[in-house]
Structure 1
Amino acid sequence: MTRWVALALLAAMIPTGSPAFQARESLARGGSYFDQCVARAKDYSACIGYFMGMADAPVMNADKSAVQAVYCLPAGASYEQNRDVFHTYLRENPQIRNVSTHMLFLLAMNTSFPCKASPRLWVDPATGEVFMSVSKPQG
């Protein structure tokens, strides 16, 4: 019990104005991700961590063949290359930054790295709704 009291007192002494404890806007919306990670990178570690989480969790590609997958990354593509593609997509499409960051990532990868028969993804800028075509060869 004494440890908990000491720990609580110690925690209370840490200044809340320090950079480690400053409130940060969520990166879950494309606009906030763009503002914090592309336009003016304030917290590199948060941005790269968020990006790597998206890149490592290809939910739309889980257990899919190249015929069914939403995107197919080139062999040997690095996080940095994929991040550059994603950030370029955000710069070039300001009208849809109201969509979730994860969905914008899928849209960017689908546009840049479609598989042979990937469904095409697109977003209605007015509503933020995301649509997917039936699978058919792109390009």
Structure 2
Amino acid sequence: MVWKPHVTVAAVVEEAGRFLLVEEMVEGRRCFNQPAGHWDPGESLLDAVIRETLEETAYAFEPEYLTGIYHWEHPGKDLTYLRFAFGGKLGPQRQDYALDTGIIGPVWMLPAEVDAAHEHLRNVMVQRCIGDYLAGKRYPLEILHSLTD
């Protein structure tokens, strides 16, 4: 068996004490996640988080810093995730934009509401990313390097 970790990106966005999450259907289950998704071939991590945020919320996103890098092993499946979470600010929301399949829509939640919804979170990384953001963890984007020829 070949080990293939899933590399994902996520946007951590806070406005007026509320965090932007996405309500979505995953395997028949309604859950909440940051705007997040897989890193696609040929794009930078920054391009990926901008794209995923747009696809799942219809908001433009400008990453300003890295909040953290997270390794998570799915307990019920043979899956490993490596998530790059970016903090930043939102631009305008496109009213005409069709969201990805399975996405119900964006929601804004206070940290206490996120904690209360812990059974409905997509995974443990959601709370950890918010916790690290609230703890002031900010890493400059300059630590990311693309060494393609």
Q: TM-score, length-normalised on structure 1?
A: 0.23
Which structure: larger Rg?
A: 1
Larger helix proportion, structure 1 or 2?
1
Larger strand proportion, structure 1 or 2?
2
